[in-house]
Amino acid sequence: MSPAQARRLKPGDTIGILGGGQLGRMLAMAAARLGLKAHIFSPDQHSPAFDVAAKHTIAAFDDEAALAHFAQEVDVVTYEFENVPARTAAVLAEHGPVRPGPEALAASQDRLVEKNFVTSLGIETAPFAAVDDAGALAAAVGRIGRPAILKTRRFGYDGKGQIAIREGTDLARAFDSLGGVPTILEGLVNFTKEVSVVAARGIDGEFKAYDVCENHHVNHILSTSHAPARISSECAAEAIACAKKIADALDYVGIIGVEMFVCEGTGKNGAPVQTIKVNEIAPRVHNSGHWTLGGAVTSQFEQHVRAIAGWPLGATTRHGATVEMRNLIGDEADAWREILAEPGACLHLYGKAQARPGRKMGHVTRILPRED
Ligand code: AMP
């Protein structure tokens, strides 16, 4: 690693953040608490993160002159979304550290690359097959069976870029409906819970995970997370071990979110066991980690800042017996007055002007007291 790539920050230094949404905003606020400055790079002039950052640049992610100028003004670059173009990351990496690094972006931008990477580590995923045309879809369905889910390999989020393949689904039409782009067919996992591990890895390989949390989606969008997940301690340990294996293999720096399915099975002695299958890797702070903001000793935002600054990681200890995080989506944020009046509720609003349906406008955490 070159000296520039191994750089550690000091208070007063500046972190550069690609993306100006709520994740960038909460990262910038965490950085400020630690005496660091944030410089946000976003093409959107209405980015909510601009309100809380020392500096911002409005430019496209392929504007190489703007990227080079930005890189010279910051001491480390990080990002709040995984679809940072590889070329953007490469241009920035010529000037200084980009954390997490390019391996993490490559492994998480393409669902096929991601699944091949995860299974190469001996970690289970849904059964999958690459599908580049309608003919390949018929063959893949022959192998994996129905029901299954066809997903675009790139740029899918919140259930977008996916179609269910059920008995009777017309395969050619299903493939065309996703735009004829490269896709992946996944067998439908018969899970009982969706959980995620949010964890941090420092530049020296130090690894700290938060409690595994349990996630509930409504209309494919995360609605609530609860920590800790109601799963066996063995299953929680397995989930965290998988996240560590993934982070170590990527020589990862920062917060990583790993989404998983929990399946019920039977062990060798006939006793029930819970096993996990990895669904998705997010190389960034994760919505299911928002409960840590006020719900844990160190929030995921502060932890990410510590990690990318090359600083010691903080304690991930949870406050209270359980913590609930509820996203405020669309007009749900209109209830802000009632939430503020509720004792113990902790409200976060993202400063977005328009409450469109499906848009994440804020979140609220509720910390339930320790039972001991
Ligand atoms: P994704 O965009 O891959 O995170 O998928 C969005 C949601 O669809 C997940 O949170 C699951 O609820 C569901 N889902 C995705 N893939 C599968 C699968 N292979 N089996 C069962 N459910 C899935």
The per-residue pLDDT for range 201-260, each reduced to its tens digit, is: 999 999 999 999 999 999 989 999 999 999 999 999 999 999 999 999 999 999 999 999
For residues 87-99, average pLDDT? 95
For residues 124-134, average pLDDT? 97
Q: How far is the CA of 259 from the centre of ligand 1 (A)?
A: 10
With bands split at pLDDT 50, 70 and 90, how would you rate the model's confidence at 63?
Answer: very high
Catalogue the E-assigned strands of 219-271. 221-227, 254-266
Residue range(s) occupied by CATH 3.40.50.20 in the chain: 14-98
Could you report how far apart the first and last alpha carbons of the chain are, in Å? 47
Cβ-contact 38, 17 below 8 angstroms = yes
Integer Cα distance of 79 and 89 in angstroms: 10
Integer Cα distance of 301 and 284 in angstroms: 10
Per-residue pLDDT tens digits for 313-338: 999 999 989 999 999 999 999 999 99
With bands split at pLDDT 50, 70 and 90, how would you rate the model's confidence at 371?
Answer: low
- CA–chain centroid gap for 273, Å, is 27
* CATH class label, 193-368: alpha beta
Which pTM value belongs to this model?
Answer: 0.97
Q: State yes or no: pLDDT of 159 exceeds 80.
A: no
CB distance 279 to ligand 1 below 6 Å: yes
Rounded to 5°, the CA angle 355-78-116 comes to 95
Average of per-residue pLDDT values in the chain: 96
Q: How far is the CA of 151 from the centre of ligand 1 (A)?
A: 10
At residue 248, the 3 state secondary structure works out as helix
CA distances from 305 to 94, 100, 168, 201, 327 (A): 21, 11, 49, 11, 23
Catalogue the E-assigned strands of 32-141. 37-42, 55-58, 76-79, 128-131
Cβ-contact 43, 320 below 8 angstroms = no
Q: What is the pLDDT of residue 1?
A: 63
Q: State yes or no: pLDDT of 370 exceeds 80.
A: no
The ligand 1 atom at the shortest distance from the C-alpha of residue 259 is: 4
Q: Ligand 1: which of 222, 258, 279, 286 to mutate, judged by most atoms within 8 Å of the beta carbon?
A: 279
Q: What is the pLDDT of residue 368?
A: 83
Cβ-contact 256, 247 below 8 angstroms = yes
Q: State yes or no: pLDDT of 31 exceeds 90.
A: yes
CB distance 217 to ligand 1 below 6 Å: yes
The ligand 1 atom at the shortest distance from the C-alpha of residue 156 is: 2
CB distance 10 to ligand 1 below 6 Å: no
Integer Cα distance of 25 and 2 in angstroms: 30
Q: Give the containing element (helix H, strand E) for 325.
A: strand 322-329
Q: How far is the CA of 279 from the centre of ligand 1 (A)?
A: 7
Q: Give the containing element (helix H, strand E) for 367.
A: strand 360-368
Residue with tokens 């944020």: 333
For residues 148-166, average pLDDT? 91
List, in order, residues 6 or more apart from 1 with CB less than 8 Å away: none
Q: Return the CATH architecture of domain 14-98.
A: 3-Layer(aba) Sandwich (3.40)
Per-residue pLDDT tens digits for 343-358: 999 999 999 998 999 9
Q: How far is the CA of 213 from the centre of ligand 1 (A)?
A: 16
CA distances from 371 to 157, 240, 368 (A): 37, 24, 9
Integer Cα distance of 215 and 363 in angstroms: 14
Integer Cα distance of 249 and 259 in angstroms: 17
Integer Cα distance of 134 and 314 in angstroms: 49
User: Which residue has its alpha carbon closest to ligand 1 atom 17?
Assistant: 188
Q: State yes or no: pLDDT of 372 exceeds 50.
A: no
User: Which residue has its alpha carbon closest to ligand 1 atom 5?
Assistant: 159
Q: Which CATH number fits domain 127-187: 3.40.50.620, 2.60.120.680, 1.10.10.60, 3.30.1490.20?
A: 3.30.1490.20
CB distance 302 to ligand 1 below 6 Å: no
Q: Ligand 1: which of 109, 149, 191 to mutate, judged by most atoms within 8 Å of the beta carbon?
A: 149
Cβ-contact 266, 272 below 8 angstroms = yes
CB distance 159 to ligand 1 below 6 Å: yes
Residue range(s) occupied by CATH 3.30.470.20 in the chain: 193-368
Name which of 104, 94, 181, 101 is nearest 137 in CA terms: 181
CA max distance for the chain: 63
Pair type for strands 272-282 and 213-218: unpaired
Q: What is the pLDDT of residue 6?
A: 86
CB distance 160 to ligand 1 below 6 Å: no
* Strands lying side by side in the sheet with 162-165: 128-131, 183-187, 148-152, 162-165
List, in order, residues 6 or more apart from 142 with CB less than 8 Å away: none
